[in-house]
Structure 1
Amino acid sequence: MINKARINVRVRRLKAGRLSSARARFHGRRDAAGLREFLTDAAAGRTPADDDGLPPYILGLRAQVRRGTARLRSRTLTAHRALHIRIQAESVRVVTQYTVRGEPAPAALARFGQMVGQWRSAASVCRQQAQQLADEANQLIACYWDGAWTRSQRDGHVSGPRPTGWLPGEITLDHTWAHLDDGLLNDRWYAPDHAGRDTDPSAVAQALHILDHQAARGGDATSGVRGR
């Protein structure tokens, strides 16, 4: 049974409420004078290719989200360390049965599947909380640029409404959050690229492959399965 209290790992939220939104707009209005060239470029349809030129307020929000999501991930892994150990051990049993002996082991696979299901539930909650942090920060970023644009428009440096979809510094979760099972593979959940994917797969990777393909085939595949 999943322990929801352990899964629900929390970090300090940005709290993008009315007060925080008003504060973000205040920062935007205050910084508008120093962002004239930036805003003029936006009015002409140009957007920054990277973080160059982003104001400190936006960079601070981005750093805060990076810290928060890293803390979420670390706490989730720590809270489920015992589960990781059991998955490591059970994966060896599954791989031995299916790829070495070539014999189905429904009971072992079911135990492994239950453990993996617990991990996927925990990792899914972690990812949702990380996305919430990003969404709250993006709301504040939007308020900041609204404030800056409104002040610059009032001062006659730009005209018309803020361009639709224009949100310099917008925060998105990196690709390491896209694969929940990567949290079970030590070289992947923190890797910036695809570290380890071209090497011989670990027992956990092979067992995950067996689990998913057994489910897809109705449990009749037995051997010759390699990792992802």
Structure 2
Amino acid sequence: MIHSDRSGTARRLRIGFLSAAHARAHGRRDASGLLDVLTDAGLGRAPDTDGLPPYVLGVRAQAVRSTTRLRARMLDRNRDLSRRIHAESVRVVTQYTVRGEPAPAALARFGTMVGTWRNSAAVCRSRAQGVVDEANHLLACYWDAAWTRARRAHELPPHRPAGWLPGRAELDPTWHRVDDGLLPDRWYGRGAPPASADPAAVAQALAILDSQLTGGATRTTGSRG
């Protein structure tokens, strides 16, 4: 079930008694048309996306819409921060790569901005994962109800197989690379980051920042002995 705030802008999946009951009602109603799917579950098979029932497809679509809105709001709230990160990244790259002169103050400012960005992106990702978990709970209610109803007339195991959840919702890989939001040509793509060095100033500055942090941690660890 989707709920919205009074402005109608913050819409997302929410779990409650009514939404779970609604999912179970759909499962019971659809059970007779899912016999082949349920029978195949005992063989470890699950239908592909084209074979999923409308309710399951609807829940998956709601989850995608909700997580997309979460990301859009996060990007909008942090647009000024993103602009400052892009500006500061040019200074960092100029100092470290072009001039070859370390600038700890500039890198510290850049690191503070990036840390704020990463925290905001991580919070957004956590909320998105919550939406996905809620969607999967509804799907579990649906399939449990369909399984229970189908067992009345057909021979099926007492419970659906553990881990068997056709249509399971998942976050796409871009959610697990929080810095991709700073590189608009990357976060909406499904592929992995390029293997070669990214020419973008932000990507270069992030690499400089992370290498400095890693090097500093290594030096600190080594000095303890």
Q: TM-score, normalised by structure 1?
A: 0.87
CA contact under 8 A between 1:188 and 1:196: conserved in structure 2?
no
- Indicate the residue corresponding to 1:151 in structure 2: 149
Measure, in 2, the Cα distance between the counterparts of 1:56 and 1:183.
32
Query: Does the alignment pair 1:120 with 2:115?
Result: no
Measure, in 1, the Cα distance between the counterparts of 2:70 and 2:15.
19
- Indicate the residue corresponding to 2:5 in structure 1: none
CA deviation after TM superposition for structure 1 residue 196, in Å: 5.6
| Match for residue 74 of structure 1 among 68, 72, 75 | 72
Query: Does the alignment pair 1:97 with 2:95?
Result: yes
- Which structure has more helix as a fraction of its residues? 2
CA contact under 8 A between 2:198 and 2:204: conserved in structure 1?
no
Measure, in 1, the Cα distance between the counterparts of 2:211 and 2:45.
47
Which runs of 5 or more residues in structure 1 are unaligned?
1-9, 222-228
- Indicate the residue corresponding to 1:28 in structure 2: 27
CA deviation after TM superposition for structure 1 residue 158, in Å: 2.4
CA deviation after TM superposition for structure 1 residue 71, in Å: 1.0
The alignment-based identity, stated in percent, is 62
Measure, in 2, the Cα distance between the counterparts of 1:22 and 1:220.
54
Measure, in 2, the Cα distance between the counterparts of 1:166 and 1:220.
44
Structure 1 residues 30-45: aligned runs within 5 Å: 30-45=29-44
RMSD of aligned alpha carbons: 1.9
Measure, in 2, the Cα distance between the counterparts of 1:111 and 1:219.
19
SS of 1:148's equivalent? Answer: helix
CA contact under 8 A between 2:24 and 2:142: conserved in structure 1?
yes
Measure, in 1, the Cα distance between the counterparts of 2:217 and 2:52.
53
Q: What amino acid is the match of 1:131?
A: Q
Q: Cα deviations across residues 8-56 of structure 1 (Å, max 9, x unaligned)?
A: xx932322122211111111000001111111111233222x3021000
- Indicate the residue corresponding to 1:19 in structure 2: 18
Q: What amino acid is the match of 2:119?
A: S
Which runs of 5 or more residues in structure 2 are unaligned?
1-8, 220-225
Larger mean CA deviation between 197-206 and 30-39 belongs to 197-206
Q: What amino acid is the match of 1:204?
A: V
- Indicate the residue corresponding to 2:3 in structure 1: none
CA contact under 8 A between 1:20 and 1:140: conserved in structure 2?
yes
Measure, in 2, the Cα distance between the counterparts of 1:199 and 1:60.
40
